Amino acid sequence: MRMAPHHMIPGDKDALQGVTLADGTLRRVWGYARPYRTTITMFLLAILAAALLALVPPFVVREILDNAIPDAVADGNRSPIIWLAAIAVAAAIADAGLAIFQRWCSSRVGEGLIYDLRRDLFAKVQRMPIAFFTRTPTGAITSRLGNDVVGAQSAVTSTLGSVVSNVIVLVTTLGAMLALEWRLTLLTLIVLPVFIVPARRVGSRLQDISREQMGYNASMNTQMTERFNVSGAMLVKLFGSGRRERDAFEHRARGVRDTGIRSALYGRVFFVALGLVGAIGTAAVYGIGALMVVDGDISAGTLVALAALVTRVYQPLTGLTNARVDLMTSMVSFERVFEVLDAPEAIQERLGAFDLVDARGSVEFDDVTFRYPPAADSAIATMEQNAGLGGDTDPDVDVLRGLSLTIEPGETVALVGASGAGKSTTISLIPRLYDVTTGAVRVDGHDVRDLTLDSLRAAIGVVSQDPHLFHESIGDNLRYADEHATIDEMVAAARAARIHDTIAALPDGYDTIVGERGYRLSGGEKQRLAIARLLLKDPAIIILDEATSHLDNDNEAHIQAALEHAMEGRTALIIAHRLSTIRSADRIAFIEDGRIVEIGTHDELLAADGRYAHQLQAGELTVPG
């Protein structure tokens, strides 16, 4: 008996009660299965052929007992026995070949569906706005790409194949039994309730236990995922929480163990009981059938054939009792996949969007108002709930209020202000990580919403406070900016970023694996590597978001030199709290409560003795934005 797939919601004991499929689900499922319809047809035909071949041995035995043996005893002709045995062997060989062919068909369809669904899901998730990722835990996303895709695939292969196979085996077997002896066949069907009632009750209990086990597994895996990355492991060690973590893990692992034992016992007792019922049914067929043989109603060969066939009736009956549960759980997986595919995409290219060509780097904020989009426009409720994040957590207020700013090509502008003033939000509008609520952001005079996303983002380079590096080599991380970059180009960029000598001193040089999030490198090395990556991208506009924060003076000097090289001839927007970074800007824009309240050079703003001067004197500008 198949238990509920592992993608069902743990602890929900009534997960499938009252479940109905959304309109169009079956049509969409068929849309994904359509490219494999020929293979699916061959798969179903192979199941039918295998079911018919399985009827050959009982009928061969019947023919041998009723005719071949008596004829051989009477006239010594043994060739019919040999031929019948040969037929049985040929049927067995053909059945083995069909089993392999079925496996080929199901794996071809199944793996193909997994590939198609994962490809579409990955592409969809990539198109989702940043707000989606801020609301949705990574585990929930990977679960849709993993567990739910596999569960959906099983609807077309495992579940469909199992249901069709059970139906065909049951129909063909009962047909053969009725043709042999209808009275004994009816006797076989009398025990049907003995199969159906326990199967439904025990099947439901097994599903409950399975969901409980999945809950323990999910919490155990979550603990491992969070504690076994570099940051999590460091936090546990620094807080001396090893014993607490081991106790929590042992509790969850113990739950997995105990539920596994209960599941195994329930399953074994159930199948032993079913086997006992089947044995009793077979014994009844033999007993009553033997009396019928004695009375001359049926032949001995017919009795043996019926006894062989009756064992083939009970197994598909057991499987079909839970066919709805299997089908619905698989279809629920499809619906969860479609839920992601149908999620709203807040950031989309307009019809007729055009490429930004030969970007000069001018940037204009024209009376921009912005508020973060509501959850319904940027997230999937069920995926938020998996993380315990129900409801809309974004305040329904404007973060930017009529902000206007024009930046000329090659100009460097620093954005300063207290935490929460709207600096990071402002720069996120340029590459369309979010869209303005009202107003417009323009690059080279073009509204960014009129440009293709790829061309817009190709013209923009970002170095953040904590640059992200992939768990790959230094060279691979650099080539993320330009996959065709040569080693000479990477070395040139690394030299300009003041990081080449450090890389060259490593045993594996540019082939050195940086570790998860680049933890094998220091903060300053990661920053300089990120600058080298930016230089390889060669954007017209660069955005520096606290790129020199939390660094010592020596590292800051190296990075400042690298940044000065990177900003040559490029438009630059800088968010910084260090005076050394701010005062070198061509202009400084002081943002307060979502508006630019002061703008000018460092000396001009000091002379004006306004908010910038006052907060600088009070030390409030040291708060990162």
Report the distance separating Cα 598 and Cα 515, nearest Å: 43
Which tokens go with 448?
A: 């960014």
Phi-psi region of 517 (alpha: psi -120 to 50; beta: other; left: phi over 0): left
Q: Domains of the chain: which residue ranges?
A: 25-341, 349-368+401-459+539-625, 469-538
Q: Which position has the higher pLDDT, 388 or 146?
A: 146
Same fold, 25-341 and 349-368+401-459+539-625: no
* 5 pLDDT higher than 50: no
Q: Do residues 514 and 477 make contact, with C-beta atoms less than 8 angstroms apart? A: yes
Give 91-112 pLDDT, tens digit per residue.
Answer: 999 999 999 999 899 889 888 8
Q: Do residues 185 and 307 make contact, with C-beta atoms less than 8 angstroms apart? A: no
Give 154-182 pLDDT, tens digit per residue.
Answer: 777 777 778 888 888 888 988 898 888 88
Predicted model pTM: 0.73
| Residue matched to tokens 């083995």 | 96
| CATH number of the structural domain 469-538 | 3.40.50.300
Residue 387 dihedral angles phi and psi, to the nearest 5°: -100, 5
Strand, helix or coil for residue 549? coil
Strand, helix or coil for residue 600? strand
What pLDDT is recorded for position 316? Answer: 80
CATH class belonging to 25-341: mainly alpha
What average pLDDT does this structure show over 278-300? 83
- Neighbour count for residue 207 (Cβ, 10 Å): 22
Cα distances from 93 to residues 61, 90, 96, in angstroms, run: 17, 5, 5
What pLDDT is recorded for position 25? Answer: 73
Give 376-414 pLDDT, tens digit per residue.
Answer: 777 777 776 444 444 445 556 888 999 999 999 999 999
What pLDDT is recorded for position 196? Answer: 64
β-bridge partners, 590: 416, 598
Give 248-265 pLDDT, tens digit per residue.
Answer: 889 888 988 898 898 888
| DSSP letter (8 states) at residue 451 | B
* 217 pLDDT higher than 80: no
Q: Which CATH superfamily is domain 349-368+401-459+539-625 in?
A: P-loop containing nucleotide triphosphate hydrolases (3.40.50.300)
Please state the length of the chain. Answer: 625
Q: What is the dihedral of CA 521, 524, 526, 530, to 10 degrees?
A: -160
Residue spans of alpha helices (H) in 181-229: 182-190, 192-227
